[in-house]
């Protein structure tokens, strides 16, 4: 799987800004840096006609327990606002005992354990959380990055991209909830397993207020691929500033990987 240089450089910046990063000797120039887990986005489950040349999600768990997730779309609908997030599943299916995911990070859409049927497949869903918006430019390209602080535990999920710019079933807004792109295969298949360590403990997330969707969504996105315009919510009120100083070795670090 070819990893976009844009997403790769996002993760380099994140590792630099991790407030609790371990103090380690600098690696030798040209050494291969760790590659973040990644998964390809493909059409489904609810919408199969949405254009997409390529799509990818990268994620990593930082040393301070923050889950960093970056989405990238290329050749999707131009000048369009998508909603990005994740759907959670019990990999053991109906025989499993995992509860609904009622605490995570972002905007809780649902956290009920129950059957979820799409594309002729039924899986045992554990809920869905939306992280925020991804805006595309005139070519249908866009990125979005989120710093999240879920409670400790192991989560089995598929990352998802919803078709519309609003999804809030609690107040009857469902027109934008259809999933246009997802990682993995059909519903509940090809799950990513992400473990948030119990030490240090993750910050406690406040509940979304007033029924307003995307309380924690990035507000700086301008609908074009960029590294520095996103305001990233990490679940404890911390936001990476809009202006991040360039480091002299950043370009060398990207090209050496």
Q: Which residue, chain included where needed, has tokens 């993760």? A: 11
**What mean pLDDT is predicted for residues 13-33?**
42
CB atoms within 10 A of CB 26: 7
Q: Cα–chain-centroid distance for residue 153?
A: 17
CB atoms within 10 A of CB 197: 12
Beta-strand ranges (E) seen in 136-233 are 142-148, 153-162, 179-182, 192-196
Bridge partners (DSSP) of residue 97 are none
pLDDT at 254 exceeding the cut of 80: no
Q: What local confidence, expressed as pLDDT, does residue 180 receive?
A: 97
pLDDT digits (tens, 9 = 90+) for 179-191: 999 999 999 999 9
Q: What local confidence, expressed as pLDDT, does residue 42 receive?
A: 96
**What mean pLDDT is predicted for residues 42-56?**
94
pLDDT digits (tens, 9 = 90+) for 80-126: 999 999 999 999 988 888 999 999 999 999 999 999 999 899 999 99
Dihedral of alpha carbons 183, 184, 187, 193, sign: negative
Q: Which residue, chain included where needed, has tokens 């649902």? A: 110
Give the span between the Cα atoms of 25 and 88, in whole angstroms: 38
**What mean pLDDT is predicted for residues 173-202?**
87
What proportion of the chain, given as a percentage, has pLDDT over 90?
Answer: 54
Give the span between the Cα atoms of 208 and 165, in whole angstroms: 17
Determine if residue 135 is left, alpha or beta; phi over 0 gives left, psi from -120 to 50 gives alpha, anything else beta.
beta
**What mean pLDDT is predicted for residues 159-185?**
93
202 confidence band (pLDDT: 50, 70, 90): very low
Bridge partners (DSSP) of residue 61 are 67
Residues 6+ apart with CB under 8 A from 37: 58, 59, 60, 192
Three-state SS at 172? coil
Q: What local confidence, expressed as pLDDT, does residue 96 receive?
A: 83
């Amino acid at each position: 799987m070819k990893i976009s240089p844009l997403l790769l450089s996002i993760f380099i910046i994140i590792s630099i800004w991790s407030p609790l990063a371990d103090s380690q000797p600098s690696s030798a120039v040209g050494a291969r840096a760790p590659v973040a887990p990644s998964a390809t986005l493909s059409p489904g489950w609810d919408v199969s006609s949405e254009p997409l040349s390529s799509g990818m999600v990268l994620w990593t768990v930082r040393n301070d327990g923050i889950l960093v997730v970056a989405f990238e779309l290329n050749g999707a609908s131009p000048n369009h606002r998508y909603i990005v997030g994740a759907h959670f599943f019990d990999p053991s299916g109906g025989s499993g005992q995992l509860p609904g995911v009622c605490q995570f990070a972002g905007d809780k859409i649902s956290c009920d354990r129950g059957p979820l049927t799409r594309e002729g497949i039924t899986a045992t869903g554990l809920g869905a959380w939306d992280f925020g918006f991804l805006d595309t430019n005139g070519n249908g390209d866009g990125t979005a990055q989120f710093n999240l602080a879920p409670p400790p535990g192991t989560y089995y999920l598929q990352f998802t991209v919803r078709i519309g710019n609003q999804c809030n079933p609690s107040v009857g807004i469902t027109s934008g909830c259809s999933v246009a792109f997802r990682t993995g295969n059909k519903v509940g298949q090809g799950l990513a397993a992400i473990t948030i360590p119990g030490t240090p403990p993750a910050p406690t997330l406040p509940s979304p207020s007033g029924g307003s969707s995307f309380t924690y969504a990035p507000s700086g996105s301008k609908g074009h691929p960029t590294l520095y315009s996103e305001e990233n919510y990490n679940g404890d009120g911390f936001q990476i500033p809009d202006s991040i100083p360039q480091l002299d070795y950043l370009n060398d670090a990207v090209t050496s990987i």
